[in-house]
Structure 1
Amino acid sequence: MIALSNVFKFYRTSGRPKIILDHVTTEFRAGTSYAILGINGAGKSTTMRMLGGTELPNSGKITRKARVSWPLGFAGGLHGALTGRENVQFVARVYGHDPRKVVDFVEDFAEIGAYIDEPFKTYSSGMMQRLAFGLSMAIDFECYLIDEVTAVGDARFQARCLEEFDKRRERSDIIMVSHSMETIRSYCKRAIVLAHGAIHEFSNIDDAIELYKKLNQ
């Protein structure tokens, strides 16, 4: 589904390189849902953005053999000067969907009212996430990237997000970052733990959680 070949990713912080992935080669296989675990700063969100193509590695190659979502709730790819409606229509056309149907779905789901016709840059962060999540649910993906997105909005909206997402995961794979071990156990069959630029893959979720807890000590 998604293959990483000798992927190297780093940032410079205070003049020193912070290595996220140190020449990593691995594969996220189709038909399996994965968790990504790691202590704060290990690079979980960066890795998710690279898997979705919204951020590039410094070297190496990432190959996608499935239609992969952007990280759910990630609004960085939407244009601030365009209205919410115009952003949704543009993304719908890119993915070959009917813009009218996608707009109808997002309007109903995001619940931002007349703001759908206001410039995206005027939105609050919560409204941005609502629109981005609704847009993610309106497009059919074979793999959804989830980065703690279920925390968007109030309890009622969170419940609606989970209900809609559960419909999608019946027919799609997921790659998930979450601090909730209960959520990880419920949604994922395999896990990788990020540590010091390397990844450690586990077929047993509890073994991955045990390593994650040791790293947090």
Structure 2
Amino acid sequence: MIRLVNLTKVFKSRQGEKYVAKKIDAIFPTGSSVALLGRNGAGKSTLLHMIAGNILPTSGQILSDGTISWPVGYAGSFHKELTGEQNVRFIARIYGMDTEAMCDFVSHFADVGPHFRQPFRTYSSGMRARLAFGTSMAIPFGTYLIDEVTAVGDTKFKRKSKFLLKARLRGASAIFVSHSSSTLRDFCDAGAVLENGKLTFYPDLEEAIAHHEESMAE
């Protein structure tokens, strides 16, 4: 379970204040895959990064009774001068994983070939995304944070990623951001709509999608 308590996030600029979250109180239930919906710029990715701990809220709390992934496929925390293998080994040690087993898994899944032992800065954007996704899937988190990750890679990699992600979610929760309603219907059973700093949770995914589509039509 993930609980947001009076959660507020505001960005200040010369144009004024922009609220991503405004005193949000919400619960993401254990065992549920929740579609996070909202317009472009509503703050969905920012909310995911706050839940992951990468961005601090302005005020309020995020409480959890389990482990939470970083946003799946996010490569921003990889050190550009280390090789892919060295990055994976470092993350494995942080999370108490078997380093050799995790390197074998990620190397095979990401399929970056000899680049696995080359500096991360030499990777293409697709290679970075594949390495990041494979690293995320190598660790058994209680909740996976997923931001458009199924759009990464060629058809073969997308199919492989979808199969593995579904396998992981059989025993875990998820908060899932995607602009594809069919993808959300494929993975999620509940939904939450973020608009104007407010979050509305729906146990029924179709109700959340209907709310979002009505908002987009206005």
What residue in structure 2 maps to residue 7 of structure 1? 7
What residue in structure 2 maps to residue 126 of structure 1? 126
User: Residue by residue, what CA displacement relative to the aligned partner does 1:144-190 show, whole Å, maximum 9, x if unpaired?
Assistant: 11111011110011101011111111111111011111222222221
What residue in structure 2 maps to residue 67 of structure 1? 67
Whole-angstrom CA distance in 1 between matches of 2:178 and 2:11: 23
What residue in structure 1 maps to residue 87 of structure 2? 87
Paired residue secondary structure (1:207): helix
Whole-angstrom CA distance in 2 between matches of 1:47 and 1:29: 16
What CA RMSD, in Å, does the superposition of the two structures yield over aligned residues?
1.2
Identity %: 43
Is 1:152 aligned to 2:160, yes or no?
no
Please report how far the alpha carbon of residue 205 of structure 1 lies from its aligned counterpart in structure 2 after TM superposition: 1.5
1:81 counterpart letter in structure 2: E
What does residue range 101-140 of structure 1 map to in structure 2 within 5 Å?
101-140=101-140
Please report how far the alpha carbon of residue 12 of structure 1 lies from its aligned counterpart in structure 2 after TM superposition: 3.0
| 130-139 or 60-69: bigger deviation | 60-69
Residues matched between the structures, number: 217
| 150-159 or 8-17: bigger deviation | 8-17
The TM-score normalised by the length of structure 2 is: 0.95
The TM-score normalised by the length of structure 1 is: 0.96
Whole-angstrom CA distance in 2 between matches of 1:135 and 1:123: 15
Asked if 1 retains the 8 angstrom alpha-carbon contact of 2:166 and 2:187, the reply is no
Paired residue secondary structure (1:216): helix
What residue in structure 2 maps to residue 21 of structure 1? 21
| 26-35 or 94-103: bigger deviation | 26-35
| 129-138 or 21-30: bigger deviation | 21-30
Whole-angstrom CA distance in 2 between matches of 1:38 and 1:200: 11
| 180-189 or 71-80: bigger deviation | 180-189
Whole-angstrom CA distance in 2 between matches of 1:115 and 1:89: 15
Paired residue secondary structure (1:75): coil
2:103 counterpart letter in structure 1: V
Please report how far the alpha carbon of residue 83 of structure 1 lies from its aligned counterpart in structure 2 after TM superposition: 1.2
Gaps of 5+ in 2: none
Asked if 1 retains the 8 angstrom alpha-carbon contact of 2:3 and 2:64, the reply is yes
